[in-house]
Structure 1
Amino acid sequence: MSLINVTNLTFAYDGSYDNIFEHVSFQLDTDWKLGFTGRNGRGKTTFLQLLLGKYEYSGTISANVSFEYFPFQLKDKSMMTLDVVEDIYPEYLYWQLARELNLLKVSEDVLYRPFDSLSQGEQTKVMLAALFLKDNQFLLIDEPTNHLDLHARKIVSEYLRNKSGFILVSHDRSFLDHCADHILSINKTNIEIQKGNFSAWWENKRRQDQFELASNEKLMKDIKRLSDSAKRTGGWSHEVEKSKNGTRNSGSKVDKGYIGHKAAKMMKRSKNLEQRQQSAIQEKSKLLKNIENAERLQIHQLDFHKNELVELENVTIAYGSTTVCTDVSFTIEKGDRIALYGKNGSGKSSLLKLICGENISYTGLCRKDPQLKISYVSQDTSDLSGNLSEYAFNQGIDESLFKSILRKLDFSRLQLEKDISSFSAGQKKKVLIAKSLSEQAHLHIWDEPLNFVDVISRMQIEDLLLEFEPTLLFVEHDSEFCTNIATKVIDL
């Protein structure tokens, strides 16, 4: 066991006036299985890059281990997979590599194929196997689940459950629950560490938030009561002091000494009330700093004149000589929330694109009314650039509604003015989701909408779909989201 000490860490990107981290200090144990969570854009990947020494910062980071980053940056993806492993770890032993691949349910024959011919899931598993072979290293695993189907996620989570010495960035709740024993969270104003899995951390956070909200409400009432009382006491003191120069009703002279003493006593009481009020205000200022805003989202689908929106009958899709799916049949009716399951490469995205009207070569029948309006969220965010106002105009959506949704998804006002190309991967995905929620449509089709999206925003989107019950066809590998949302499942 050794420790990683972060002391007084402060960092901002060149040209930025906003510190991502400011005077942050904490300590990590290199034996921990550390889940790393926080809203999009808070600096999770940046922190990993700081551990790797990629940027200059003030403060200190000290450790007796070396840091290794996943995904490993390859020079040439066309290399043989065995050469890729050697590039990652030249001193590997083949029998140890074979053992790790077996644990990850990967056949050894992938080692003798070009790396870029492997599926993204296979690439992920090979990189993890090679990186975990290294001695005296602490692995920084940055969102490995985004290219893993449900089956592969279970395999990788079980693999990580039996490892130690890593930080895992993931927004998949069940994945974190299965393989993390500590949670590192980036909050609004600090970074904190708690023992336990994600569910334990979330329950603790929920209780702390409820306690702070209740304390804040009580202090607000106390501050108002003390303020009103201080004003009354101050007013009485002033009136008593004025009476020193008057007379009693009987016409006799007033006792100025008595009245002055009484006024001073009232004034002292008023000062005490003011001090108590200031103490309450100071106590209140310590609250609510890390409560996450997760405002209610809305979606208003257009009503379609028929109950049946789309029908697929014996659809087969092939690219050249490669068939990706065969004899797929299902119907989308109003109110359905259909989860499309299947391993990577089973044709899920192709089916979504076919229904959306893209030029996909297929046999069978795909029936839909020409008046049907579809809102589509793609997996790919690589073409997003420019400012949000131009994007809204080009997409034909209401700019103020679009930006209002982004604000509810934790975009700051300053973030709304930046170029989309500078956004984090999760923020870019939120742009596509906000665009979809702003569109007038009868049917929403979302292809892995939650990739890179933070947990709190996932819960917001769940609440939205459960409240408004739109007609939805989606592909998503977050098992908890699918369980909560899907009314039907199509398993390819």
Structure 2
Amino acid sequence: MSLIRVTNLTFEYEGSYDPIFENVSFQIDTDWKLGFTGRNGRGKTTFLRLLMGQYEYQGTISTSVAFDYFPFEVTDYGMDTLELVEEILPDYEYWKLSRELSLLELEEDVLYRPFGTLSNGEQTKVMLAVLFLRENHFLLIDEPTNHLDLHAREVVSAYLDKKKGFILVSHDRAFLDRCIDHILSINKTNIEIQQGNFSSWRQNMEYQTNYELAENEKLKKEIRHLTEASRRSAGWSDAVEKTKYGTRNSGLRPDRGFIGHKAEKMMKRAKAAEARREKAAEDKAGLLKNVEKAPELILHPLPHHSRRLMEASGIEIAYSQKQVCGPLDFTVNAGDRIALTGRNGAGKSSILKLLAGYEIPHRGQLTEANGLIISYVEQDTSFLKGELADFVEQNNLDETLFKAVLRKLDFSRGQFEKRIESFSAGQKKKILLAKSLCTPAHLYIWDEPLNYIDVLSRIQLEELILKFKPTMILVEHDKTFLDHTATGSISLDR
């Protein structure tokens, strides 16, 4: 057991006016299974790269362990997987590698296939197996779930639960709960560590938020009352002070000492009330710094005169005469929210593209209602480049509405001035989601909409779907999200 000590860490990207981290200090036990959470763009991947020494920074990061980053870079996807293992870890022992692959439910024949022919899920598992063979290494595991189907997520989470000594970046709540014992969270104003899993951390954050909101309301009332009391006492003091000299024609000589003492006492009372007001204001300023606001999102699904929006009969997808999936028979009725499920490579994305109107080689018949308007969110975000204003113009979006949706998804106004290439993976995905939310449609087709999306935004999207009840077909591997939103499912596994 050893410690990773982070002391006064400060970092900002060149040309940026906003530091990602400023005088951050904490320490991590290298035996922990640490979940890493925070909203998109807060610096999770940046912090992992700082640990790897890829950026210059101020402050210190000290430890006696070496760091390994997942996913590691693969220079030649054409080499056999075993050759890749030998390149990454020359002194590996085959029996240990075989054991790790077995724990990850991978057959050894994957080692003798070109790495590029493995599915994304298989590549993920091989990388994890290799990295965990290294001794005295602390793993930085960045978003492994984005390429894992539901079953693979269960396998990998069970695998990680038997390991220790890693930081895991993931936004899948169920996945995190199964395999971590501490949480490292990047909040709005600080970084903190708690013992427990994601659910316990989330509950603690809700307790703290509710407490701070209640305290904030109490202090606002107290400040208001103290301000009024201070004004009254000051007014009374001035009025009493004026009576020290009496009136010109009264013929009476007031007791100036008594009156002056009384006025002074009232003034002290006013000053005390003012001091208490200032103290209450200071206390109030210390609240709500880390309260995460998640404004309600709005959707405008279009009604359609037909109850049946789409019908598939004997649909098969085939590439180069090789059948990928099918035959499939299903219908999509208004109000349905259908989850398309299946293993990696089962053809889920191909089916969605076909339904969205793309030219996909297929057999069978697909019928859709007349005048059907579809809003499609694709899985890939790599094509997103340039200025946001150009994206808005190219997609005929209402710029004010589009930016308002992004603001609700935790974009800062300063983010609108940056080029899309500088955005985090989660922020790029939010651009596609915001476009869809700004597009009234009869049917929403979303392909892995939650890839890289932070938990709070996932909850926002859940609440949106449950409130507005759009007709949807989606592919998603976040079990919690599907349990909350889907009304039915179609399995592509045969």
**What is the TM-score normalised by the length of structure 1?**
0.99
Map of 1:456 onto structure 2: 456
Map of 1:209 onto structure 2: 209
Map of 1:61 onto structure 2: 61
Task: Name the SS for the 2:375 alignment partner.
Answer: strand
Map of 1:231 onto structure 2: 231
Map of 1:348 onto structure 2: 348
Asked if 2 retains the 8 angstrom alpha-carbon contact of 1:386 and 1:419, the reply is yes
Map of 2:302 onto structure 1: 302
Q: CA deviation at 1:245?
A: 2.5
Per-residue CA distance 1:363-401 (angstroms, 9 max, x = gap): 111000241000000001011112222211110111111
Distance 1:439 1:397 in 2: 8
Q: CA deviation at 1:75?
A: 1.6
Deviates more, 1:237-246 or 1:469-478: 237-246
What amino acid does structure 2 have at the position aligned with 1:415?
A: Q
Map of 1:268 onto structure 2: 268
Q: CA deviation at 1:141?
A: 0.1
Task: Name the SS for the 2:55 alignment partner.
Answer: coil
Distance 2:213 2:230 in 1: 25
Map of 2:178 onto structure 1: 178
Per-residue CA distance 1:109-128 (angstroms, 9 max, x = gap): 11011000000000000000
Asked if 2 retains the 8 angstrom alpha-carbon contact of 1:72 and 1:88, the reply is no
Asked if 2 retains the 8 angstrom alpha-carbon contact of 1:161 and 1:180, the reply is yes
Asked if 1 retains the 8 angstrom alpha-carbon contact of 2:246 and 2:252, the reply is no
Distance 2:246 2:381 in 1: 81
Map of 1:471 onto structure 2: 471
Distance 2:175 2:300 in 1: 32
- In the alignment, does 2:40 pair up with 1:40? yes
Q: Gapped runs of 5+ residues in structure 2?
A: none
Assess, with a 3 A threshold, how the Cα gap between structure 1 residues 239 and 368 changes in structure 2: closer, same or farther. Answer: same
Map of 2:129 onto structure 1: 129
Q: CA deviation at 1:150?
A: 0.4
Distance 1:247 1:374 in 2: 85
Q: CA deviation at 1:221?
A: 0.4
Map of 1:406 onto structure 2: 406
Distance 2:132 2:370 in 1: 53
Distance 2:213 2:346 in 1: 47
Task: Name the SS for the 2:292 alignment partner.
Answer: coil
% identical aligned pairs = 62
Map of 1:146 onto structure 2: 146
What amino acid does structure 1 have at the position aligned with 2:275?
A: Q
Total equivalences in the alignment: 492
Task: Name the SS for the 1:176 alignment partner.
Answer: helix
Distance 2:106 2:45 in 1: 28
Distance 2:226 2:234 in 1: 12
Q: CA deviation at 1:101?
A: 0.3
Map of 1:24 onto structure 2: 24
Matches for 1:3-18 after TM superposition, within 5 Å: 3-18=3-18
Deviates more, 1:103-112 or 1:74-83: 74-83
Per-residue CA distance 1:91-147 (angstroms, 9 max, x = gap): 100000000000000010110110000000000000000000000000000000000
Task: Name the SS for the 1:323 alignment partner.
Answer: strand
Task: Name the SS for the 1:152 alignment partner.
Answer: helix
Asked if 1 retains the 8 angstrom alpha-carbon contact of 2:306 and 2:369, the reply is no
Asked if 2 retains the 8 angstrom alpha-carbon contact of 1:248 and 1:254, the reply is no
- In the alignment, does 2:147 pair up with 1:155? no
What amino acid does structure 1 have at the position aligned with 2:212?
A: E
Q: CA deviation at 1:246?
A: 2.3
What amino acid does structure 1 have at the position aligned with 2:409?
A: L
When the two chains are superposed, the root-mean-square deviation of aligned CA atoms in Å is 1.0
Per-residue CA distance 1:42-68 (angstroms, 9 max, x = gap): 000000000000011111100010000
Q: CA deviation at 1:250?
A: 6.3
Asked if 1 retains the 8 angstrom alpha-carbon contact of 2:245 and 2:253, the reply is no
Map of 1:254 onto structure 2: 254
Distance 1:321 1:44 in 2: 43
Map of 1:420 onto structure 2: 420
What amino acid does structure 2 have at the position aligned with 1:326?
A: G
Asked if 1 retains the 8 angstrom alpha-carbon contact of 2:11 and 2:19, the reply is yes
Distance 2:330 2:384 in 1: 33
Distance 1:68 1:347 in 2: 33
Q: CA deviation at 1:248?
A: 9.8
Distance 2:248 2:216 in 1: 47
Per-residue CA distance 1:148-199 (angstroms, 9 max, x = gap): 0001000000000000000000000000000010000000010000000000
Per-residue CA distance 1:337-383 (angstroms, 9 max, x = gap): 11110111111111111111110111111000241000000001011
**What is the TM-score normalised by the length of structure 2?**
0.98
- In the alignment, does 2:331 pair up with 1:331? yes
- In the alignment, does 2:241 pair up with 1:241? yes
